[in-house]
Structure 1
Amino acid sequence: MIVTGKSFVVTGGLGSIGAASAKLLVSKGAYAVLFDILPAEKAKERIASFDDADKYFYFQADISSRDSMEGALSAALKVIPKGSLFGAVHCAAVNPNVPWPTKMSDKLKDFETVLRVNAYGTFCVDATVADAINSQYPELDSFFPRVEEERGCIINLSSVVGHDPPARCLTYGPSKTCVLGITTAAADFLAPCGIRVNSVAPALVYSALMNQGGRVEYFKEQLDAYSMFPRRFTTPEEISHAIVFLVENSMMNAFHLKVDAGWRQISSWAGGVDPRKRSPIVE
């Protein structure tokens, strides 16, 4: 599938992986419709520094709100080339960024938050974007015949901790497991209208959020001990290339791609050291 001339919604579009993915798509001739929570003026200042800045469109949107998503998509359809909306790269998510608790019940509020944004938000993005794509084909009714041509592709960002949630991701991990299930179910539901749905699962990606509470040094040691090769943080650009591969290959559907260098994500007690004390901020 060729992306030239097609438009893609990128949620979390001004974040590390979102921005890298948007830039790669634009470099291949696509248009990037960036959804994020930044005020419009700040977003436009940042986009002005991008190459081919005229190929980006920005809309402030809350991924966990159907009204917000539908409003942003309706506005986007009015400014992008007619009929060009083809898919989404869904990167927006939240992580509690708090210490390990002593009681599991202390994580209930965090779990409620991450489920609302990471799980419900993924369903909301997939559903509203798919509806917006299908709105370009008015011949579709409630039970339309299966189409033959490819009409869209959605990529959800999961995580390796969604595949096998470790202790240090008590709420975030299961919320990303939900992303895997939503991806598979959505791929089947949207297949008749020619829309593919896949997920990409990064391991540890270096970011400003990662560089808090001693987490960088903690995870450097974990990667050195338990990754196969290479034993380092993943770059946003490496994730973006995996995302665009799934977009461009029309045979990839309901697929969950790990980009993790074979990291075995265990909670190490090597040397009798309590890992909960080594990195005060883990999840």
Structure 2
Amino acid sequence: MKIEGKAFIITGGAGSIGGTAARMIMERGGIAILFDVLSPEAGTAKAKEWHAERCHYFQVDIADMASLESACAEALKIIPKGSLAGGVHCAAIAPGRKWSNKLSESVPTFAKVLNVNVYGTFAVDAAIADAINSQYPDVQAETFFPRVTEERGIIINISSAVARPVPARCLTYGVTKTAVLGISGGMADFLGPFGIRVCSVSPAVVGSALMGADRIPYFLSELEASAIFPRRVTDPTEIGHGIVYLIENGMMNDFELRIDGGWRGCSNWAGGDPRKNAISLE
């Protein structure tokens, strides 16, 4: 897919990975539509700072289907007709709580993360796919239309290196990212007849607001112990390049791109009890 002239919805678009993806898309002549939780004033100011004409902002709750559908409808009104070609779903949460032996204490946290990271992913993919399909009369004409032969869009979901295997340290967050991989695979199969590809990107530890500066030292020690190479935090631009590659290569579908330095998270006991080193249980 050629990015120039195409519009892409980026959830978490004001953040590190989403913002990097948005700027890379605009550098290639694309249009970035940012969905995030910033106020309309703050989000719009950031969008216009990045590009006066080809960057737009909408305040969106990804766990609210009405919010998503409304923003998609408004986005279609301000971009060139027929230009919406996909989405990059980066929005997620990773709240932590103090480690304890009582696993049931994680259930409320899990419910919250599940709603945003899993329900939110399904809802985002559905809203973007419907918005893309709304541009094509053949999809609206009948339920079972002939499978198209031209590429019409791509959706990229951000999963995580801790999606498989899921380490104890990321017990609730990691499981939700495993679900993201399942959603991506199912969506790819469902949306294939519409000419819409679906892939996922699984980063390791990324320097971002989601991670938080207080968690970086712990994960640096984990990367040093368990990553193959390089044993460092991933830069958002490395994720952005992967996203651009998946957009531009039309044969990439139902594919998980791991950008993780070969890191496979697990409970590493070589340096003592890992439960004492972990700041929190995600």
* 1:84-233 correspondence runs (5 A): 84-140=83-139, 141-213=142-214, 215-233=215-233
Inter-partner Cα distance in structure 1 for 2:98 and 2:244: 34
Verify the 8 A CA contact 1:6 1:31 in the aligned structure 2. yes
**Conserved? CA contact 2:87–2:156, under 8 Å:** yes
User: Which segment drifts farther, 72-81 or 222-231?
Assistant: 222-231
Shift of 1:209: 4.3
TM-score (norm 2): 0.96
Output the CA distance in 2 between the equivalents of 1:9 and 1:235. Answer: 22
Q: State the distance in 2 between where 1:78 and 1:163 align.
A: 40
- Per-residue deviation, 1:267: 1.5
CA shift, 1:216, in A, is 1.7
For 2:136, the aligned partner's letter is Y
The question of whether the paired residues in 1 share the 8 Å contact of 2:168 and 2:281 is answered with no
Alignment of structure 1 residues 29-108 onto 2, 5 Å: 29-50=29-50, 52-108=51-107
Q: Write the distance in 2 (CA, Å) between the matches of 1:34 and 1:153.
A: 16
Report the RMSD for the aligned CA atoms in angstroms. Answer: 1.2
How does the TM-score come out when normalised to structure 1? 0.96
Q: In structure 1, how many angstroms separate the alpha carbons of the residues matched to 2:203 and 2:100?
A: 25
Offset, 1:97: 2.4
Deviations 1:36-69 (A, max 9, x none): 011110112222332x332101111111111110
TM-superposed CA distance for 1:278, in Å, is 1.6
Q: 1:165: how far off?
A: 0.5
CA distance in 1 between counterparts of 2:48 and 2:98 reads: 37
Q: Does the CA contact (< 8 Å) of 2:94 and 2:210 recur in 1?
A: no
Residue type matched to 1:122 in 2? T
How far apart are residue 99 of structure 1 and its match?
Answer: 2.4
> Deviations for 1:88-127, whole angstroms, at most 9, x for unmatched residues?
0000001122222321111111111111111111110111
Distance 1:66 1:209, change over 3 A: closer
Contact in 2 for aligned 1:212/1:281 (Cα 8 Å) = no
Q: Which amino acid aligns with 2:279?
A: P
1:175 aligns to what SS in structure 2? Answer: helix
State the secondary structure of the residue aligned to 1:57: strand
> Partner of 1:223: helix, strand, or coil?
helix
CA apart distance, 1:208: 3.7
* Aligned-residue offset at 1:207: 2.2
